[in-house]
Every structure is written in structure tokens, then in C-alpha cells.
Amino acid sequence: MLNNLLTKEQVKDFKEYGYVVIKGFYDCSLEIEPIQYGIWKILKILFEKYHIEVEAKEFSPKTFDYGYQKLISVNRRYGGEVYDAIKQIPAFMRLISLEKNDQIFMQLRNTDTPAIAAAGYGIRIDNPHEERYRSLWHYEYRDQLRSIDGIVFWSPLVALTSGMGPVKICPRSHLGGLRRSYLKDPDNLEKTGAYAMRLENEASLIAQYGTVAPLSEPGDLVLMDFLTLHSSGVNISERSRWSMQFRYFSFEDPSGISINWTGCVANGTQLKDIHPELVID
């Protein structure tokens, strides 16, 4: 077992509330800026590809996404190209597999067999006033599977304000266990896949636990239990919210062993095929 990186108080908070915010966990110059630089380079390539005139700016961690709003205003589909490309930036892949990620997972779950969920990592781009791709209330195990003892690693690439819609969390909701969901959202028919699923008794659950929306900045890390209810906030600012997500789980957990550590939606698996008891069709 490696050295513990989290304080006893942080471990206690995670177990009690189902989440914890670790300030300055990642080194901005060594671990975050190379990812921001990679995004900046990809945007430059696409500006040239689609002949979009954007004022030339030197790279800066604070403005790495300059011109992105113009890009998607020309064609929203170009934003999808950015989304697919940036998850392949080597610096992002290195951050996902940092040894210190292993360490905090092992400390929180008391295991020495951590695993990274394949197809369970990416960089979200939540655009201003856009609803179609916003993640509604859910818990990670429902959408990812792998094992119930999993943990979400969530870290922003921009300094978040309340107007940018930081992740909303229901404290202590992980204590409620697995919950049933509807497969379709009648209020958002354009949503598909995991985006379309809605929790049973969603409004009453949110009222029961209440919500928090911690602000964070590049280098910070938010950890969430796989059973913690959370959702993307609504971005009413003028800038997209760029944030990294990846998931760790344990090979030792009986729940994962019983389903062969199967992934879910992103892996082409239907929740009803693994947990029919959790689906309201």
C-alpha cells in the first residue's frame, strides 16, 4: 500500500457526504497546462481547416479556449470534433493514470487493485445555454457500472463561477444505495442514451438531501462516490465550462466481479441487461 495523500478529515468527509473537494491536487504548470495547450493547438487546427478568422493570441492557460465560441457559432458540429479530439491528448491520458490518483483511490477504498474505467474518461465542454448534452441528476454506477465502489474524479480546466454551472451534488445521497430510473426523459425528447435517463422520484430526492455546488479552479479535484447523486449545472455565462472526468473502480469489489467489471452506456451495454430491477421502461 502506498503512502496516504488525503487527511483523516478528507477521508471522513468523503465517507460521510459522498464527495470531497481537494484544493490544488494537480500541479497546474506540470499537469494541467499541457492539457490546456493541447486544446489550444487543436482549436488552431480547426480554425484553419474551416477558414474561421480568429484573432491570433499566444497560448495562455486563462484563454486557451479563445475562439471556441465563434467556432461553434459557425457550425455546432465543429464542437463535436473538438470533444472527440481532446480526450486523445497525451497529457490528459498521463493525468488520468497518475500514481497519485491510484493512491487516493486505494486510501479511500482500502484496496490495492485500482482500475480505470475504459471509455469512462473525457473532457466535457458544457456550452452556455445549451441543454441537449447537459447531464441531469444521476449516480455514476448507473451510467458506468464496473463496480459499486467506484469513484468519479472531476477537475475543471477553467476557474468556475456560479454562473458557469458547477457540478451540483446531493450530500449523503450515496447512503441511499442503488436507485431506479426511467429510460426516457419526457421533458427533453432530444436527449439520448444516458442523457435521457431520469431518476425515479427525482424532485423528492433532491429536496430530501439538498444540494451543494462547490466552486473550483484548475488544479482542484472533486471526488464523488459512484452512488452520489449529482448533475451538471446550467451554464448561463458567456464561456463554456471545460472539465475533466474519469472513473476509478476496484477489481476486488464483489459487485464488479459478479458482472465481469462490465461497462455501461459508453461501452454499448444497456443497464436493463445487467440490472433490470433498476429500470422503469
Range of the domain at 144: 8-280
| HSE (side-chain half, CA atoms, 13 Å) at 209 | 23
CA distances from 142 to 36, 102, 157, 242, 254 (A): 30, 23, 26, 23, 16
Query: In this structure, are residues 26 and 155 in contact, taking their beta carbons and an 8 Å threshold?
Result: yes
Q: Quickly count: other Cβ atoms within 10 Å of residue 112's Cβ.
A: 12
What is the per-residue pLDDT for 2? 58
The count of structural domains within the chain is 1
In a domain, 32, yes or no: yes
In a domain, 115, yes or no: yes
Spatial contact of 248 and 115, defined as CB atoms under 8 Å apart: yes
Share of the chain above pLDDT 90, in %: 89
The answer to the question of residue 196 being in a domain is yes
Find out whether 159 and 32 touch, Cβ atoms under 8 Å: no
What contacts 273, CB < 8 A, 6 or more positions away? none
Position 183 scores a pLDDT of 87
Domain for residue 58, yes or no?
yes
Q: Is residue 83 part of a domain?
A: yes
Q: 124 near 206, Cβ under 8 Å? A: no
State whether the Cα torsion 204-208-210-211 is positive or negative. Answer: negative
Residue linked to cell 430510473? 181
Question: Above 70 in pLDDT, residue 241?
Answer: yes
Extended beta strands in the chain, E state: 19-22, 114-116, 122-126, 151-156, 168-169, 181-182, 198-199, 221-225, 230-231, 241-250, 279-280
Residue 187 has pLDDT above 90, yes or no: no
Q: Among the listed ranges 50-54, 181-185, 206-210, which one has the minimum average pLDDT value? A: 181-185
Residue 41 region by backbone torsions, left for phi larger than 0, else alpha for psi between -120 and 50, else beta: alpha
With a cut of 80, say whether residue 233 has pLDDT above it. Answer: yes
153: in domain = yes
Q: How much is the pLDDT for 1? A: 47
Least confident of 17-26, 181-190, 242-251, 263-272: 181-190
Average pLDDT over residues 109-126: 97
pLDDT beyond 50 at 252:
yes
119 belongs to a structural domain:
yes
Q: Quick check: is 233 in a domain?
A: yes
pTM of the model: 0.95
* CATH of residue 92: 2.60.120.620
Closest CA to 224 of 2, 5, 17: 17
Greatest Cα-to-Cα distance within the chain, rounded to the nearest angstrom: 54
Type of residue at 259: I
Question: Are the CB atoms for 171 and 209 separated by under 8 Å?
Answer: yes
